[in-house]
Amino acid sequence: MYCVVNAERTGVSLVYLTCYIASYCFELMFLCRRLGVELGKVQVYQEANRETRVQIEESVRSEDVFIIQTVSKDVNTTIMELLIMVYACRTSCARNIIGVIPYFPYSKQCKMRKRGSIVSKLLASMMCKAGLTHLITMDLHQKEIQGFFNIPVDNLRASPFLLQYIQEEIPDYRNAVIVAKSPASAKRAQSFAERLRLGIAVIHGEAQDAESDLVDGRHSPPAVKNIGAIHPSLEIPLLIPKEKPPITVVGDVGGRIAIIVDDIIDDVDSFLAAAETLKERGAYKIFVMATHGILSSDAPRLIEESAIDEVVVTNTIPHEIQKLQCPKIKTVDISMILSEAIHRIHNGESMSYLFRNIGMDD
């Protein structure tokens, strides 16, 4: 479903909005009300041959344009829609074009895999080439993605909102333990645990496949015929293959509330396996906290039938349909920090206020 909002321009700042879920449009309109601006006039639609067409219906010359783009299930159409809109603003002589993309798509494809490609680098280059002058996003899958851009990138954090939810909505949170479902998530879990003054537990074992354990073509060359080395005296040592131990929970979760933290929850199989393991180890309540709730495929049904008591995500991605399918899914609103970032960038104010107490490892 398209939602194209028509409104008159007010003030000196313009905000253009396109999205696919009508209910989510109201949340972004609330963001605009926080700023005291109206949505810009723009038409976004697809031709009969599925080509995306964008028509800006008012002057943006010498204006600051903030393009807010959510990510739908049809992520490729979403990306093309964003690129065409950015380029349309550029050719219409906008002064600054700032992309507000709470969830950066293709962020998981930020490392080389065999003969694949670093797609997030490609996407960053396309956005810069289209005319983007600044990017506001939230909790990138890897902070190093910021280096793919040659424009300023503000990688905001959702952890203050999730920490506040834990303190206000989990009555006995002092009896909780923060859990990393794999060693790759340990840094995020440690950050939560230190701020809440709680213990930490890490799940490690053969049932957990961390992203870093995937085969990397640069370190695992394809098999070749058994031929001798270039020089008879040259012997290259072989890397011993990994063999994971039986699944283990490092830390005490018996009689405690287990709070699993991560940045993205999409395919929920690893979360379900972690929840079962924690139940077996004696955890009496299990929460899952994540910034981006993609929740693809049968995720709502699987969560509803699982040992997980509650899944808490922010509204960086529209998931109203998933919430209707699974009452365990709860939403934390992060429009406040996005509106503050937009306000500060437009007025040329410092952004350091939004990054208070955030260390290099956060």
Coil, strand, or helix at residue 102?
Answer: coil
Kindly list the domain boundaries of the chain, sorted by start residue: 14-156, 160-206+246-332
Q: What is the DSSP string of 146-199?
A: GGG-SS-EEEE--HHHHHHHHHHH-TTGGGEEEEESSGGGHHHHHHHHHHHT-E
Average pLDDT, stretch 240-262?
89
Task: Please state, rounded to an integer, the average pLDDT across all residues of the chain.
Answer: 84
> 131 versus 227: which is more confidently predicted?
131
* Structure token pair of residue 74: 């049809």
* pLDDT at position 102 over 70: yes
Residue 212's pLDDT is what? 53
Q: CB neighbours of 197 closer than 8 A, spacing ≥ 6?
A: none
pLDDT digits (tens, 9 = 90+) for 227-240: 555 666 667 787 78
Residue pair 42/56 in contact (Cβ under 8 Å)? The answer is: yes
Average pLDDT, stretch 188-213?
81
Name which of 143, 88, 154 is nearest 120 in CA terms. Answer: 143
Predicted TM-score (pTM) of this structure? 0.84
What are the CA-CA distances from residue 319 to residues 208, 293, 325 (Å)? 26, 7, 10
Confidence of residue 3 (pLDDT cuts 50, 70, 90): very low
CATH entry 3.40.50.300 includes domain 160-206+246-332? no
* Structure token pair of residue 132: 């983007």
* pLDDT at position 222 over 90: no
pLDDT digits (tens, 9 = 90+) for 281-333: 999 999 999 999 999 889 999 999 999 999 999 999 988 889 999 999 999 99
**Beta strand pairing call for 134-138 and 153-156:** parallel
Domains 14-156 and 160-206+246-332 share a fold: yes
Residue 220's pLDDT is what? 54
The CATH number of the structural domain formed by 14-156 is 3.40.50.2020
Average pLDDT, stretch 72-96?
91
Confidence of residue 257 (pLDDT cuts 50, 70, 90): very high
Confidence of residue 215 (pLDDT cuts 50, 70, 90): low
> 359 versus 292: which is more confidently predicted?
292
**Beta strand pairing call for 52-56 and 42-46:** antiparallel
